[in-house]
Structure 1
């Protein structure tokens, strides 16, 4: 190691008060920031300022005694005046985001009040907290950048070789400490992205370990248990090479609305899978492709709907990342019920058999895909070159990851008009407010931050807070960290939003009704989804406290206006524009809660850089029989700085600070203190959710990999994160 390198090491170590270097490079790698005795000396060593998803809440006056408008004889004038002002403050905006409806006045009091957890009473109130205090002033939440510091320590020797590393890291710390204290989480997160990209080396990772961005903490740290549980590794972290994992990810999806896996019922010209290829796959040597298809044992994952987006122009600063609209085939072996991954074609276009097709394939292997609008690829199976197969799996999982991110934001955009109509038409005096306020919390402000809040933009003040929708917190980050341009990502999100229908995607289906899907032994996405009956029982009991007949529903002018505007002005596809019975109203309100909580789930797969990166870093096709190496596989994974940026950025979207923190079933203290009759119903609701959560935990204990996206304790009560 050169003197120059040693100078850099000592310079950086002095700068951040790191442990002293001792003997060799292996010692340097082991001398982490969390080694005793220095492992908890100072804020930086502990992970920096406690900024993240914390326990802040604000007090608001209790709700008035709620009633239906037709029975309000004492506060009708105030009620009507409140609605007049609400319609001035809240309005639908059609031009800010092409193809979608957003709230036109994010600075109004209704929206700003609804962005925070609001308690309306003291500790004596009866809302149960599942053992987690959502307003604990000592609860600091997820420290968003403590993992960045831990990763730097874990790979110190490798990273320190980067030129000017000390200056870069000093700049990084400067951004942390100077930007964080304005309490604007969105702006801070945008501003932290560039320092991460600049601080870490822009080079491909040299090992699987360098792709592991999860922080390690020394067990002697006094806050070890508190900190480590907020950085949970994926249950399949040690099994990411397993072919079974790819199939399992299709049944244990990253978002609840992810339903791309379908029975394979007829051969596809664009996916020329043959019986010979099929029989070469381990476990299927004695099987037959046509017989397996006839018996409903074949399943297809086809990202055809994303083809135009994967070949759209990409941004110049995504460092060569691509996304491929791939196709994958899965099968159940005879005398088995376990889904297996059998074949992957990374793109939508196969290679033909003509001379010119062969010549084109040769040229593509030499020069790459470039701007080819119909990139060709070959079918790859586990029987082909080992590293070719690993690369093919990454090609399909990166598209799976991006599709999940699009799914998640598209539900935000799809649901966005509901609170606009709600605030315009449902006053504090209406019984729907105590029930739905918490489930609508932060949807408008989070949509605005993710789509419109540019770096340095003011959320309040005289300036127009609606910035460029292609440079928001999420949309702008995608531009830097994925294989899509920001415009492509936004267009894909709006397109996917138009796919949803309120009841169709808001009502669980029984996969056992499909003979093909019923053959799969365990399908967690559907098998664990038992929440709708529990939600519906809670909603039914609550609404019948105030609606005593179907006529009460029909004559509720505020309710009917809310439904009508959501459909006709908000353009929420499939949303009913009226309700004529208590049962119909129960269906609607239950589906709203289901959409805002259960259908809002999002796993941490996008953080899993070994498989889930949002870009495939290879411009050339994969040749099934070529002698690739692990180095070739590492080259399709993201560079260190991009992987770090994507990992740490994605944490704010994918994890609750801990189980039962503002989860489904939680309401702030005093939410229902205006009506004691609610509490017996709430107790049943929460007890049923706790029981379901316990059942899923027991089931997960017997699974190869646990699945938490359908656990009430890990489902947010609203799109607040």
Structure 2
């Protein structure tokens, strides 16, 4: 766009030139037009195309009359032929992603049939839908682009006043539209993000409002009730400055497998927190650090496992983002209560008090960390400079957010071999298929999309769809939006994947058996997790429709082969290689359901740019006593374009389009049409889930901030996101 065109644009909206006084009447008039406080869906482009998460159901033929292989005298030849072909089509691949096992043929029919929500029979079948119709043709899911338009509308004036931004915006507006997803859930590629990075200003945000990328809808919006529910803000949105939020994030974790918080039982040389630090915190003036430790009232968050990754080479286009492997101390007051944030050390290396330490600290504050492998930092407390403390909190919360993203993708990678062994050994004739197909939905294709599917590459028809694992939808986005390179991120993911154990991490933690955690008034991550008994009862009832004795389990060569291959070929840590009884098989299958749903949850912390950005934009240490200002805090937050890109991109992986959409307990219509004996059991399962969901909602109404990660209505039934 020429300068004349930019001038024409300014004239059209009565915007002043960049050189004019910002207090002019023209600025006021244009602000009334474009700098609105909420979005009514009428300006610009009517909210964007109706595409996004959600998607359509597709039809498949009903399952055959299922049976155990040893009792199949009618279709045994057919199922054997199907298994022979399945072993050709589905195979374990060990070389494409170093350190992990993946599916070697994402184009196979088994994978593609499991890619989307598939109903069998008619849509009038007996599966209850919790009031949400997953096949509703009018339901388009979350309009990912709508938030972009709303943000542009709210901040249009500040964006258009920059000539280069105005030119980019006009030139790229149509590109953004033409590059959207092709109406397939999970098929959104970088084009939806890169135009945002290029269009929005790369400057730091000028105020907190500019860091708020959630669309605010006017009540006059034509679909207000639906739209407002699909962009839920964090429950602590208005309280994000509160020190208690950081402690809350430890007990209301962003992922179910988040287990970085531990009791603080002995002092650490690399974290020299003292009684002086402790007593400076409000509420602990009369307390004692060692006494609190002896009474099991102290907890530590230590990201030491991420140290090598936080000091690894970063990507060249990350706009200065860093991540630090910080350490934080928390405490319960002597009279009980919630977890309080006591002290934060932004890195793993403390600064000493000798002459040379002070000398080093002086030059660190001048020249910054550079590429130091052991960046030093001081301990910061709430009693220090207010803005230094706010920056220290962001240092911890950004690492918390990245750890959650690593957790989320690492569970994908950890679980990835299970469907490979499943498709290879369990044919459509087996009772496990109607039960588990929905829980395995989209795992293989989403793993492939997140890790391997490069920009603009079509999966179907490719001779070798496995491209560069460092430029997939998620791994490539990390390269652009965080303080990690995609290589560092993928290495962290594979490392974390090796941490999981099939039984240990699908056994709910009873915090009341721990002398430290039992003192917390509320620990939603664990207190709300009452799903395993419900899942177990459902699976037990279902499997006993077909297995009548332990010998039936032992004689089922298909299920035994599935278990064996998952362990020995898929290398899923902790997975059993056989089952000798109905109880053992029920336990294994219930844990598969648990892993694919409950352990797959993910909150929207990564979308919360005031705290959860995946980068900390400061290359210098934080001095506890320096008189920082809010401007200094804003400078550690992401630039506007990166914040917008990360926010809108992260929506793919967090919130469901609405409660009970493809949530735990949901099955496509006709899933059990082959055997109506299943429906009474399914009714009990869904009723128990609904009751638990109602209980958690009631509990949340009494909490300072609500927590939805353990609510059945917001848990996806499978890793389809």
| Range of TM-score over shorter length | over 0.9
Q: What secondary structure sits across from 2:315 in the alignment?
A: coil
Q: CA deviation at 1:7?
A: 4.2
The equivalent of 2:689 in structure 1 is 689
Within 5 Å, which residues of 2 pair with 1:288-437? 288-437=288-437
Q: CA shift at 1:176, angstroms?
A: 3.0
Q: Does the CA-based 8 Å contact 2:41-2:47 persist in structure 1?
A: no
Task: Please list the CA deviations of residues 593-639 of structure 1 after superposition, one character each: whole Å capped at 9, or x if unmatched.
Answer: 00000000000000000000000000000000000000000000000
| 8 Å Cα contact 1:79-1:429 kept in structure 2 | yes
Which residue does the alignment assign to 1:92?
92
CA contact (8 A) 1:39 1:45 kept: no
Partners of 2:33 and 2:416 lie apart in 1 by 48
In 1, the alpha carbon distance for the partners of 2:462 and 2:369 equals 48
CA distance, structure 2, for counterparts of residue 432 and residue 669 of structure 1: 17
* Structure 1 residues 63 and 267: CA distance shift in structure 2, 3 A: same
Q: Are 1:28 and 2:30 an aligned pair?
A: yes
The 5-angstrom pairing of residues 115-194 of structure 1 reads 115-180=115-180, 182-183=182-183, 188-194=188-194
Write the mapping of 1:167-316 to structure 2, written as runs, cut at 5 A.
Answer: 167-180=167-180, 182-183=182-183, 188-316=188-316
**How many Å apart are 1:346 and its aligned residue?**
0.2
Equivalent in the alignment of 2:10: 9
What is the alpha-carbon distance in structure 1 between the residues aligned to residue 291 and residue 41 of structure 2? Answer: 62
Say whether 1:652 aligns with 2:660.
no
Question: Where does residue 713 of structure 1 map in the other structure?
Answer: 713
Cα distance, 1:422–1:30 mapped onto 2, change above 3 Å: farther
Higher mean displacement: 97-106 or 46-55: 46-55
1:57 deviates by 0.6
8 Å Cα contact 1:12/1:166 also seen in 2: no
Residue 633 (structure 1) aligns with: 633
Quickly say closer, same or farther: Cα 1:469–1:510, change in 2 above 3 A. same
Partner of 2:663: 663
Q: Distance in 1 between matches of 2:209 and 2:700?
A: 27
Inter-partner Cα distance in structure 1 for 2:165 and 2:276: 53
CA distance in structure 1 between the partners assigned to 2:370 and 2:508 by the alignment? 42
Mapped partners of 1:696, 1:273: distance in 2: 37
**Is the 8 Å Cα contact of residues 331 and 340 (structure 2) preserved in structure 1?**
yes
Which stretch of structure 1 is more off in the superposition, 172-181 or 309-318?
172-181
Q: Secondary structure at the match of 1:644?
A: helix
For residues 70-111 of structure 1, give each alpha carbon's deviation from its aligned partner in whole angstroms, at most 9, with x where no partner exists.
000000000100000000000000011010000000001000
Paired residue secondary structure (1:419): helix
Aligned mates of 1:13, 1:426 — CA distance in 2? 66
- Cα distance, 1:190–1:580 mapped onto 2, change above 3 Å: same
Query: What does residue 573 of structure 2 align with?
Result: 573
CA contact (8 A) 2:181 2:187 kept: no
- Partners of 2:278 and 2:547 lie apart in 1 by 60
Question: What are structure 2's unaligned runs of at least 5 residues?
Answer: 16-23
> Over the residues paired in the alignment, what is the CA RMSD in angstroms?
1.9
Pairing 1:531-546 to 2, within 5 Å after superposition: 531-546=531-546
CA offsets per residue over residues 180-216 of structure 1, 9 Å max, x none?
A: 3633565643112211001000000000000000011
Label 1:23 to 1:7 Cα distance change in 2 as closer, same or farther (>3 A): farther
Aligned to 2:19: none
SS at match of 1:305: helix
CA contact (8 A) 2:176 2:195 kept: no
CA contact (8 A) 2:37 2:154 kept: no
8 Å CA contact 2:369, 2:375 repeated in 1: yes
Q: 2: distance between equivalents of 1:11 and 1:186?
A: 39
Distance (whole Å) between structure 1 residues aligned to residue 675 and residue 186 of structure 2: 37
Which secondary structure does the structure 2 equivalent of 1:330 belong to?
Answer: strand
Deviation at residue 535 of structure 1 after TM alignment: 0.1
- 1:59 to 1:518, Cα distance in 2 relative to 1, 3 A: same
Contact residue 47 and residue 145 of structure 2 kept, 8 A: yes
Confirm or deny that 1:515 pairs with 2:507.
no
Unpaired stretches in structure 1, ≥5 consecutive residues: 15-21
**Structure 2 CA distance for aligned equivalents of residues 446 and 243 of structure 1:** 36
How far 1:336 sits from its partner (Å)?
2.2
Contact 1:457 1:467 in 2 (8 A): no
Is the contact between residue 438 and residue 667 of structure 1 (CA under 8 Å) also seen in structure 2?
A: yes
Q: What is the rounded CA distance, in whole Å, between the counterparts of 1:463 and 1:11 in structure 2?
A: 51
Equivalent in the alignment of 1:17: none
Matched, 1:101 2:101: yes
CA contact (8 A) 1:175 1:192 kept: no
Matches of 1:287 and 1:578, distance apart in 2 = 54
TM-aligned CA deviation for residue 4 of structure 1: 9.8
Question: 3-state DSSP class of the match of 2:189?
Answer: helix
For residue 161 of structure 1, report the CA deviation from its aligned partner.
1.7
**Cα distance, 1:30–1:666 mapped onto 2, change above 3 Å:** farther
Paired with 2:431 and 2:37, the residues of 1 have a C-alpha distance of: 55
Residues 717 and 13 (structure 1 numbering): CA distance in 2 closer, same or farther, change over 3 Å?
Answer: farther
CA distance in 2 between counterparts of 1:61 and 1:517 reads 50
Equivalent residue, structure 1, for 2:21: none
Instruction: Provide TM-score, normalisation by structure 1.
Output: 0.96
Q: Decide whether aligned partners of structure 1 residues 33 and 448 sit closer, same or farther in structure 2, where only a CA change above 3 A counts.
A: farther
